[in-house]
Structure 1
Amino acid sequence: MTTFTDAAAADEALKARHRAMWALGNYPAVASEIIPELGRILVAACGIRPGDRVLDVAAGSGNAAVPAALAGARVTASDLTPELLEVGRRLAEEQGADLAWRQADAEALPFADGGFDTVLSCVGVMFAPHHQASADELVRVCRPGGTIGLLSWTPDGFVGQLLGTLKPYVPPPPTGAQPAPLWGDEQHVRALLGDRVTEVVARRQALRVDEFATPEAFRDFFKTNYGPTVAAYRGIADDPDRTAALDRDLAELARRNDRGAGATVMEWEYLLFTARRSAGAPTG
């Protein structure tokens, strides 16, 4: 029989693997070179104003936190992976952004109830394994009447397909861990937040990605820089046949999604979701 202690130890081991995975490669390069506009889109959708207290959950290197700070908000960027926070501090200083950085688990945030006017996450909280626990924390730390804003890759969009492509090459997730792209399903997010939010606005949009000359260039960039992809390759490093198969699968993924004529052009779909924290609603 699994005991509470066993479950807690397994969960801590899972979080340790997540921290290590996102420290692999160079995720800040992905954020700054491939998806930089997503943070600005989320900040604009949340209507962040000077003086607002903002928490960026699973902030990475600050793709949304830095634009929020540059908009004049009082920002705290939190993430499970300290290596990403260190890069974020440096990038923020280079841009003249003043904000706080805090290592934190999205499923157990070390912040007071209702402590923020806006709680947001840009393709971040979606990767925490226990969705309801994360959603409960987003609600808890947002003040009544405040804004919750989420930008998440969709299940059927390009990054959802990418994670599906990696699935046969990585160990199965532990019991209870949910697929990250579910956060890109509007009904899933509505169910997680329930009647604790009102004024929901949810729309699917697409990011145009044209930085890669060829599908193979996409593969090689993500093979080197994107934590989940780096981890998948490391896990099969002693199997040249599986490594070659993953090479083919990733290039073919980009090729199937290529809408360009000449250079590779892809549309990466995401869900932009904003809502207002209900006044007086319970957090859990």
Structure 2
Amino acid sequence: MTEHAVTTPDLKARHRAMWALGDYPSVATDLIAALGPTLVGACGLRAGDRVLDVAAGSGNASIPAARAGAAVVASDLTPELLESGRARAEALGLSLDWREADAEALPFGEDVFDAVISCVGVMFAPHHQTSADELVRVVRPGGTIGLLSWTPEGFIGQMFSTMKPYAPPPPAGAQPPPLWGREDHVRALLGDRVAEVEARREPLTVDRFGTAEEFRDFFKARYGPTIAVYRAIADDPARVRALDDELAELARRHDLGDGRMEWEYLLLTARKRG
């Protein structure tokens, strides 16, 4: 099947399957756990708020929002991630509504939520304008939209650039996820439907890996997009070795000298106009 022949159901099935690969919940808890509370704090979520987390994964932001007392719907395309999040929330004594849902066709009415958030989630939906339109549609006038996304120039954005030559061509119309890490891109997506836009770039400090190779092997084993790229080149050992080397070199370039790395993200909040 050519990229132009990929239908929307096929594309959604591929995305769902990709994020079920490996162990994304361990990525969320071991590496980026701080991002969810950061987003919740920036949005000022509080008890009684009706909150929708789009592309919630295993609840990186949903669970901190529930801890703040919000009534949270955690939605994601991949049921395996929702099951992991549900189990973690139950262990913490938290009650959330976990819903399988496509970020590009949310099964909710207009003006329903006080806040709509996404923590390195909606950025991976392929059609950016469609996703942005859905975020705006379901939040009430005066409500908050809060987005945290990896930047193109930051470590994860550069990791995707490194993997791109080894990956199959993207489907027609699909846009690169790290574009959501550009303030001008997100402002254009939301347009004049929002006001009080605030955006800042911040670093996430990661000190989980002792060596560059440890980072690479962690992502090869646990991160769906990386696993999918390696599967695509599995029959070409030379390309596998080349990607191994490039990912390790990327990690070495970002090592601050003491085993720490900083992964840059864009944190953007806005209010829907009334």
Q: Answer yes or no: is the 8 Å Cα contact 2:6–2:171 preserved in 1.
A: no
Select the residue among 140, 143, 152 that pairs with 1:143. 140
Question: Which residue of structure 2 lines up, in the alignment, with residue 3 of structure 1?
Answer: none
CA distance in 1, matches of 2:92, 2:210: 29
CA distance in 1, matches of 2:194, 2:233: 43
Residues 156-171 of structure 1 mapped to structure 2, 5 A cutoff:
156-171=153-168
TM-score (norm 1): 0.94
Q: Which runs of 5+ in 1 are unaligned?
A: 1-6, 280-284
The answer to whether structure 1 residue 274 and structure 2 residue 265 are counterparts is: no
Residues 228-267 of structure 1 mapped to structure 2, 5 A cutoff:
228-261=225-258, 264-267=259-262
Residues 54-93 of structure 1 mapped to structure 2, 5 A cutoff:
54-93=51-90
Deviation at 1:236, TM superposition (A): 1.1
Q: Answer yes or no: is the 8 Å Cα contact 2:150–2:264 preserved in 1.
A: yes
Question: Which residue of structure 2 lines up, in the alignment, with residue 215 of structure 1?
Answer: 212
CA distance in 1, matches of 2:75, 2:163: 27
CA distance in 1, matches of 2:245, 2:227: 15
Question: Which residue of structure 1 lines up, in the alignment, with residue 130 of structure 2?
Answer: 133
SS at match of 1:140: helix
User: How many residues are treated as equivalent by the alignment?
Assistant: 272
Question: Which residue of structure 2 lines up, in the alignment, with residue 31 of structure 1?
Answer: 28
CA distance in 2, matches of 1:164, 1:92: 34
CA distance in 1, matches of 2:243, 2:14: 21
Q: Which runs of 5+ in 2 are unaligned?
A: none
Q: Deviations over 1:216-241 (max 9, x none)?
A: 00001001000000111111111111
CA distance in 2, matches of 1:96, 1:154: 34
SS at match of 1:45: helix
Deviation at 1:260, TM superposition (A): 2.3
Deviation at 1:9, TM superposition (A): 6.3
Structure 1 residues 8, 250: CA separation in 2 closer, same or farther (over 3 Å shift)? Answer: closer
CA distance in 1, matches of 2:6, 2:99: 23
CA distance in 2, matches of 1:234, 1:94: 34
SS at match of 2:59: coil
Question: Which residue of structure 1 lines up, in the alignment, with residue 18 of structure 2?
Answer: 21
Question: Which residue of structure 1 lines up, in the alignment, with residue 202 of structure 2?
Answer: 205
The answer to whether structure 1 residue 112 and structure 2 residue 118 are counterparts is: no
The answer to whether structure 1 residue 188 and structure 2 residue 222 are counterparts is: no
After TM superposition, where is structure 1 displaced by more than 4 Å over at least 4 residues in a row?
none
CA distance in 2, matches of 1:251, 1:118: 39
Question: Which residue of structure 1 lines up, in the alignment, with residue 95 of structure 2?
Answer: 98
CA distance in 1, matches of 2:36, 2:262: 17
SS at match of 1:213: coil
Q: Deviations over 1:168-225 (max 9, x none)?
A: 1110101110000000000000000001000011000000011100000000100100
